[in-house]
Structure 1
Amino acid sequence: MKSRSMEEHRQSSPSNIKCGVITLSDSRYQESLQKKNHDISGEFLVDKLNEKYKVVAYEIIPDDSKILLETLEVMISDFNTRIIITTGGTGIGSRDITVETLQGLFEKELTGFGEIFRYETYKELGAGAILSRATAGIYKRCLIIALPGSPNAVKMGMKIIGNELGHLVKHLKE
């Protein structure tokens, strides 16, 4: 059952939203330095977000908390982004630092996103979904969404959240 007020909010949501994309990957970062860029997930996000909004910043960085924090600050303050989507660094490996770094920043965490993401992953892949630590939250009036690095995970994440982005940004302005 659809909510009438939610549909009204969606219709009155802003469409001129500045977005940023950050890929966290040691290997993709090295490839980008050698001009051998094959960032399928990051490029998908850029293309998908540009269908409705405007991507003003896109970076490929290594799995490094300090660099992630610096990149977020630049995207928010210099580019005035309202949505930043990261891809990569959400696993359980020793170099996977995205979730811990972001959770330390979040003023509010949107736990429902991670729950739905893992549920949808479970329907497709089974119990391996417990490895997913996808998350979302708010920092400095910017929605930050952390997705795994695989192209299929990024596509699923956008399927879940894509139509709600404007709606969420609308509430950030309140």
Structure 2
Amino acid sequence: MKKEFKHGEMMKSESMEIHKKKAPKSVKAAVLTLSDSKYQDMQNSKDTDLSGRLIVDSIKEKNEVVHYKVIPDDADLLVPSIEEMIMEHGAEVIITTGGTGIGPRDITIETLEPLFEKELRGFGEIFRYESYKELGTGVIMSRATAGIYKNTVIVSMPGSPNAVKTGLKIVVPELGHLVKHLKE
């Protein structure tokens, strides 16, 4: 049985709405920026990480940010940073920004996908669809993705602030819902 809920032009199922109502109102989230230049700026006491700050500010509206970190595009630092966020800070959700393009230093996807116990393909698909409506065919270079690792949702977005805004519109409303399903 479907009940109509208006959300733009989209209809939602009644069972999904019931699930969402039972979801935690707040989750523990961590934010990880991968960027050689942002990392260098942080080392020089300059905070130029606009994308990371957008994520932190968006999460803080209804959730708890348990950790925020900026690292260079380095696979040897990415996995230990993810482990730290899960094991030491209790992150239920980790949102990364940067390193998702096709350049030689873009290592986020290659590093994280092998860790995923389950991939959440819907995030990348919706992200690319929404980005396509704004940017056109250049969006084929986006490799944004999401998955589950050690009972933690990991969402990887590009590093541009506009891409982050698009990704946050998709994922933030679902954070509690995602965490609820992981704990069932």
Aligned residues: percent identity?
Answer: 61
The answer on 1:20 being equivalent to 2:30 is yes
Distance (Å, rounded) in 2 between the aligned partners of 1:142 and 1:15:
17
Residue matched to 2:89 = 79
SS at match of 2:32: strand
Residue matched to 2:154 = 144
SS at match of 1:38: coil
Residue 112 of structure 1: CA displacement? 1.0
Residue 15 of structure 1: CA displacement? 2.2
Residue matched to 1:129 = 139
Q: Deviations over 1:97-120 (max 9, x none)?
A: 000111010000001110111111
Distance (Å, rounded) in 2 between the aligned partners of 1:112 and 1:2:
16
- Unaligned runs of 5+ residues in structure 2 are 1-10
**Whose radius of gyration is greater, 1 or 2?**
2
Distance (Å, rounded) in 1 between the aligned partners of 2:28 and 2:82:
13
Structure 1 segment 1-174 matched on structure 2, within 5 A: 1-174=11-184
Distance (Å, rounded) in 1 between the aligned partners of 2:130 and 2:109:
19
Residue 96 of structure 1: CA displacement? 0.1
Q: Deviations over 1:36-59 (max 9, x none)?
A: 111100001001001111001000
Residue 16 of structure 1: CA displacement? 3.3
Q: Deviations over 1:119-171 (max 9, x none)?
A: 11111111001011000000000000000000000000011111111101100
Scaled by the length of structure 2, what TM-score is found? 0.93
Residue 17 of structure 1: CA displacement? 1.4
RMSD, matched Cα? 0.6
Distance (Å, rounded) in 2 between the aligned partners of 1:17 and 1:161:
13
Partner amino acid, structure 1, of 2:134: E
Scaled by the length of structure 1, what TM-score is found? 0.98
Distance (Å, rounded) in 1 between the aligned partners of 2:85 and 2:100:
20
- Unaligned runs of 5+ residues in structure 1 are none
4+ residue runs over 6 A deviation? none
